[in-house]
Amino acid sequence: MIIERIETNIESLEKKELINRHIEKVYLESAHLVKRIQRVKTDHGREIGIRLKDPRDLVAGDILYMDEHNMIVIDVVADDLIVISPRSLTEMGTIAHQLGNRHLPAQFADNEMMVQYDYLVEELLKELQIPFKREERKVKQAFRHIGHSHGA
């Protein structure tokens, strides 16, 4: 089976559309969500080729295939993350500036900033005394570097 487009995302479906469908999952590392062409395997052992025609990243919950009885859904493997919980706007600005200088991609949820684990970032947070914790957590989308160059 070759998938060329995403049907929809499971979060946009109503509960009644899920009740009678068997769900197979494709577990991807968050870094693989940016790949438009890849070969994957479902949790039931079915091999699938993904070759997306649209220039978009995959997102957790994307439905690769759906009929009246079955669906194949993208899920994400938990990442090793540093979850930063600044206590003030000053702490948020300080750490955002430091991580921005390192071109480290971040994601935000609620009042938390998440970056992939890096021992140098962990040391920096300890030095700056900014609250953080290291944990395994699923993210919905890939950590993506923003295209930027310091050169002229």
pLDDT surpassing 50 at residue 3: yes
The pLDDT assigned to 122 comes to 95
What are the residue boundaries of the structural domains of the chain, listed by start?
A: 2-75, 79-137
pLDDT surpassing 80 at residue 43: yes
Dist. CA 47–CA 53, nearest whole Å: 19
Range with the lowest mean pLDDT among 20-29, 44-53, 133-142, 143-152? 143-152
The pLDDT assigned to 149 comes to 44
Q: Which CATH architecture has domain 2-75?
A: Sandwich (2.60)
Dist. CA 9–CA 144, nearest whole Å: 20
Q: Evaluate whether 55 touches 116 at the Cβ level (below 8 Å).
A: no
Burial (Cβ within 10 Å: 0-12, 13-18, ≥19) of residue 99:
buried
Best CA proximity match to 90, nearest among 135, 42, 128: 128
Instruction: Name the residue with tokens 């500036």.
Output: 97
The pLDDT assigned to 101 comes to 85
Give the mean pLDDT of the chain: 89
Best CA proximity match to 79, nearest among 32, 30, 120, 113: 30
The pLDDT assigned to 146 comes to 56
Instruction: Output the CATH code of domain 79-137.
Output: 3.30.70.790
* Mean pLDDT (whole number) for 118-130: 94
Q: What is the pLDDT of residues 72-110, one digit of tens each?
A: 999 999 999 999 999 999 999 999 899 888 888 888 888
